Amino acid sequence: MLMCSLLCSSDVIAAISLISYDKQPKLFSIVFGEGIMNDAVSIILFNTVVKYTAVESHIDIHTPRKILSNFVSLAVNSLFIGTIFALLSAYILKTCREFSKNPVHEAMVIFCLGYLSYVTSEVAAFSGIISLLTSGVVMAHYTWYNLSPQGKQSTFMVFHFLGYIVEAFVFSYLGLTFFSYFDEVWSPDLIMVELAIIVVGRGLGTVGLVGVLRCCGYATNTSIKELLFIWYAGMIRGAIAFGLVLRIDQRSPNRSVIVTTSLALVIFTTVVFGSTVGVVSKYLF
């Protein structure tokens, strides 16, 4: 269950960078939206599984109902917290126009309220990442239009720069961390099996699912080339998967092999699929 929840997360940054929203708005929206949904489901599912697989946890006949209830509660509350702080930022920037006199102040309001949504969610034992993600999406729809022209330009540059730096740091750290796990337990067979599950499961979840929908009479305007691109790009496992696996309790059985398998899959899919997704994009489109 832990491995399944971890491998739900995909990294679509490489794919998104190759798609032009002006030329392919539908494909861009599908890939971006699916990536966000996959990360959200992975985080919520992982937190739920960890709670009920802890050493001191007790499983009985009521556990499935509790898991479902906890899953829904975690998702709804995390989304609610992120939405509240995002709407608060939009309200502040709309009513307190003195912030518009300085684009630095506008950027600080957005940054502080986004960070507060993360901290509040974590303190309340919900998912801070989901709250922050929700906050960013809602801010893009509402807060953005309350910024001054200078604020729009400066906030775009600031957060784009910070995102680029943090992303580079995460993957650099991920590559360096790989060498510190040589003494841990490795299972090449498990790595190969999980990689096969990712490839096959991804194909069934994209091309297979759309095929079933079409057989049931549901018309979709997504071409086979777009489906193949979505399938290939979605096989890149994100750094979120490795970030989550480090949160597993040290006392959990087989923790070492789960960590090393997740690390190997993240690095392999990022290097192999991430570096070739551009070639696939040019071939398909």
Quick check: 48 and 77 in contact, CB under 8 A?
no
Confidence of residue 32 (pLDDT cuts 50, 70, 90): confident
The phi, psi pair for 10, rounded to 5°, reads -125, 155
pTM: 0.76
Residue 263: per-residue pLDDT: 85
Residue 56: per-residue pLDDT: 63
Distance CA 245, CA 252 (A): 11
The phi, psi pair for 184, rounded to 5°, reads -80, 175
Summarize pLDDT for 88-100 with one digit per residue, the tens.
999 998 888 788 8
Q: How far is the CA of 6 from the CAs of 2, 90, 163, 202, in angstroms?
A: 6, 34, 22, 14
Per-residue pLDDT at 83 exceeds 90: yes
* Mean pLDDT (whole number) for 219-223: 76
Distance CA 269, CA 276 (A): 10
* Mean pLDDT (whole number) for 249-277: 83
The phi, psi pair for 237, rounded to 5°, reads -80, 135
Distance of CA 212 to the CA centre of its chain: 26
Q: What ranges make up the beta strands (E) of the chain?
A: none
* Mean pLDDT (whole number) for 224-230: 86
Distance CA 122, CA 225 (A): 41
Exposure b/e, 58-85, CB count within 10 A at least 16 = b: eeeeeeeeebeeebeebbebbbebbbbb
Domain count, the chain: 1
Per-residue pLDDT at 55 exceeds 60: no
Q: What is the residue range of 261's domain?
A: 2-284
* Mean pLDDT (whole number) for 72-80: 87
Residue 14: per-residue pLDDT: 64
Per-residue pLDDT at 48 exceeds 80: no
Residue 59: per-residue pLDDT: 67
Summarize pLDDT for 143-178 with one digit per residue, the tens.
988 888 888 888 888 888 888 888 778 778 777 777
Per-residue pLDDT at 224 exceeds 70: yes
Residue 34, both tokens: 């699916």
Per-residue pLDDT at 217 exceeds 60: yes
CB atoms within 10 A of CB 148: 17
Distance CA 169, CA 166 (A): 5
